[in-house]
């Protein structure tokens, strides 16, 4: 049986750490997505969902817009 090298153990720890999003990171992501959505729309609550896939993660951000904020170009 072959033992893991230190580099392999560190790589494994880093990759495992990236598998799950902690609550502080999740709250920061929701706040940032909400801020960006609010720049373009009048929005209700923003929903943020993550689903683990075989080769990555499916991330979805959804919200209900009550109004679209159109920009006017100033010449």
- Per-residue model confidence (pLDDT) at position 17: 58
The bridge status of strand 56-62 relative to strand 65-68 is unpaired
pTM comes to 0.64
Torsion of CA 12, 33, 46, 23, to 10 degrees: 30
More confident residue, 73 or 50: 50
What SS3 state is found at 34? helix
Digit-coded pLDDT (tens) for 9-55: 776 666 665 667 888 888 999 999 999 999 999 998 889 898 888 88
């Amino acid at each position: 049986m072959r033992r893991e090298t230190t580099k392999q153990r560190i790589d494994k720890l880093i990759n495992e750490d990236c598998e799950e999003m902690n609550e502080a990171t999740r709250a920061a992501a929701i706040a940032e997505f909400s801020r960006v959505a609010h720049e373009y729309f009048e929005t209700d609550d923003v929903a943020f969902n993550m689903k683990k896939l075989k080769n990555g993660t499916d991330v979805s951000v959804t919200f209900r817009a009550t109004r679209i904020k159109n920009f006017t170009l100033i010449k």
